Amino acid sequence: MSAKGSEKFVFISGGVISSLGKGISAASIGSLLESRGLSVTFIKMDPYINVDPGTMSPFQHGEVYVLSDGSETDLDLGHYERFTSVKLARHNNFTSGQVYEKVIANERQGKYLGRTVQVIPHITDEIKRRIQKAARGYDVCIVEVGGTVGDIESLPFLEAIRQMRIECEPNQTAFVHVTLVPYIDTAGEVKTKPTQHSVRDLREIGIYPDILLCRCKTLLTDEIRRKIALFSNVKTEFVISACDAACVYDIPLKLHEQGLDTAIVRRLNLRRAQEANIVPWRNLSKAVSEAKQEIVIGIIGKYTSLEDSYKSFNEALFHGGIANKTRVSIEYIDADNLNARNVKQLLKGIDGILIPGGFGARGVEGMMSALKFARENDIPAIGICYGMQLMVIEFCRSLCGISDATSTEFEVPGTPVVDLMEEQKKVVSKGGTMRLGDFECVFEKDAPVAQIYGRKKIVERHRHRWEVNNDYVEQFEEAGLKVYGRNPETNLVEVVGIPEHPFYMGCQYHPEFLSKPLSPHPLYEGFVRSICKRKKKS
């Protein structure tokens, strides 16, 4: 299988330990190449056997990031879209499960002409085919290999990209290895052995990195960089410090200052690359550092022990803060620990609350206690997907006389003010079968949310099975909870809110997936603005 073509590839691997920041590194490289006038795209290759992360617990893999076409993907695709202008699709993220599924289907259809099906060449050929398909039409395709060098699960992906270097033209590929250079307090110095061993493991399988991104606390000295270069067979100028940063959006600037984008441009011989225009990132960094006001937003959910479960929420709130020249601090509150008796105490010092998406009955009473407290005390609150449904249930219980209001998702007797969507009632398979991806919403005339967006029709990303039951809309609207927006085709309730409240609004979709630091989502910007306004008055 030939890999020759006009597209260039940046392959990113990781070593020593997981969670070193390969995703942020890939996104930062993409942002820098875009700043040079190049078109980029991304691929995340995940080594697990699941077909996608859609059925995985957030505790296992963090949030599920949903694309416009309805793909349920790895959270790193959120980094890619936030840091760049790219709009990704399902071919930009694939797993070992998808690859093996396709190869087995081909074998069943007789496409291998009776040959023995093996990891090499059949699995690796399928991986290369997917990489080449996703890269077509772009100047540079940035490919992140999930996992860590040495993991048995990642070997087919690493073997595939090793083959691609041989099959490609000399200046068509760049290999970037993200590794760790720890500072040992007891020794009072940084240690390069983990990086040396990681590069050795990579070289043993035939991959020779061109650039090393060394995760470290502070900039590595020239002496340390020369030592790493010597033992890793990498040029000293291509040993780059990937330091801890106060703000994740400072990372492209820090990497640019060390010449990372220049190194990649040189390695790939990208002749049409312009000088980097990093002014927007500098302005962003300045805006973050100059923000003086601070607010505290409580995220009340059921996966709060792992911050990555709410990665896009965290970032969207941060973006809303940037737009309002405000520092946003987030306090995670486990809904299981919250109830009507302690809600006032646990929400003390909280300026606004966010109820995120979720599934199942666990923690709902705690989340509804928080919503009731916010509603009754004029505390700005936003409910996303599941959070919006809980807004409706709590309101119906408290103000509509429907004391047993519930969702059929909770599997308890009661009045189903939230019910399973009609199209979902015959669904058996769980993976990839929810209402997923882009759907329209049309706002009611004079709805406050239309003023926030500045338009009457929007398209947002969805991920849900249950919906507000239209049979009860008239009752809760008469009591003061208004429907602000609906889907024009299905009449599905998309947005609800209380007009008299400083900000009490829920949406069935996930606006956080469309928020970027350089263009904050209007709903999160408006939410933060309402909190700032209320805080100034108090």
Residue at 370 is within a domain: yes
The verdict on 213 and 230 lying in the same domain is: yes
The verdict on 46 and 156 lying in the same domain is: yes
The verdict on 446 and 488 lying in the same domain is: yes
Residue at 13 is within a domain: yes
Q: How far apart are CA 209 and CA 199, in angstroms?
A: 8
Q: From residue 326, give the alpha-carbon distance in Å to each of 283, 300, 525, 527.
A: 15, 21, 11, 12
Report the mean per-residue pLDDT for the chain: 93
The verdict on 338 and 405 lying in the same domain is: yes
Least confident of 167-181, 210-224, 420-434: 420-434
Q: Which of 214, 216, 385, 400 is catalytic?
A: 385
**Would residue 512 show up in a list of annotated catalytic residues for this protein?**
yes
> By percentage, how much of the chain surpasses pLDDT 70?
99
The verdict on 344 and 218 lying in the same domain is: no
**pLDDT (average), residues 499-512:** 97
pLDDT, residue 1, reads 47
Q: By residue range, what is the domain housing residue 106?
A: 8-283
Question: pLDDT higher for 59 or 400?
Answer: 400
**Would residue 510 show up in a list of annotated catalytic residues for this protein?**
yes
**Would residue 385 show up in a list of annotated catalytic residues for this protein?**
yes
CATH code of the domain in which 450 resides = 3.40.50.880
Q: What is the pLDDT of residues 8-43, one digit of tens each?
A: 999 999 988 888 899 999 999 999 999 999 999 999
Q: Number of structural domains, the chain?
A: 2
CATH code of the domain in which 265 resides = 3.40.50.300
Q: Which of 144, 460, 512, 525 is catalytic?
A: 512
Of 538, 510, 526, whose CA–CA distance to 81 is shortest? 510
Q: What is the pLDDT of residues 325-379, one digit of tens each?
A: 999 999 999 999 999 999 999 999 999 999 998 888 899 999 999 999 999 999 9
The verdict on 328 and 374 lying in the same domain is: yes
**pLDDT (average), residues 111-123:** 92
**292 pLDDT band (50/70/90 cuts)?**
confident
pLDDT, residue 428, reads 66
Residue at 2 is within a domain: no
The verdict on 273 and 393 lying in the same domain is: no
Q: Which of 319, 464, 501, 510 is catalytic?
A: 510
Q: What is the pLDDT of residues 466-480, one digit of tens each?
A: 999 999 999 999 999
Max intra-chain CA distance, the chain: 76
Residue at 3 is within a domain: no
Of 259, 283, 307, which residue sits at a domain end? 283
The verdict on 168 and 299 lying in the same domain is: no
Helix (H, G, I), strand (E, B) or coil at 243: strand
Give 289's contacts (C-beta < 8 A, 6+ positions apart). Answer: none
Of 283, 315, 348, which residue sits at a domain end? 283
pLDDT, residue 2, reads 47
Helix (H, G, I), strand (E, B) or coil at 258: coil
Q: How far apart are CA 77 and CA 64, in angstroms?
A: 10
Rg (alpha carbons) of the chain, rounded to whole number: 25
Q: How far apart are CA 251 and CA 525, in angstroms?
A: 23
The verdict on 265 and 316 lying in the same domain is: no
Helix (H, G, I), strand (E, B) or coil at 51: coil
Specify the pTM.
0.94
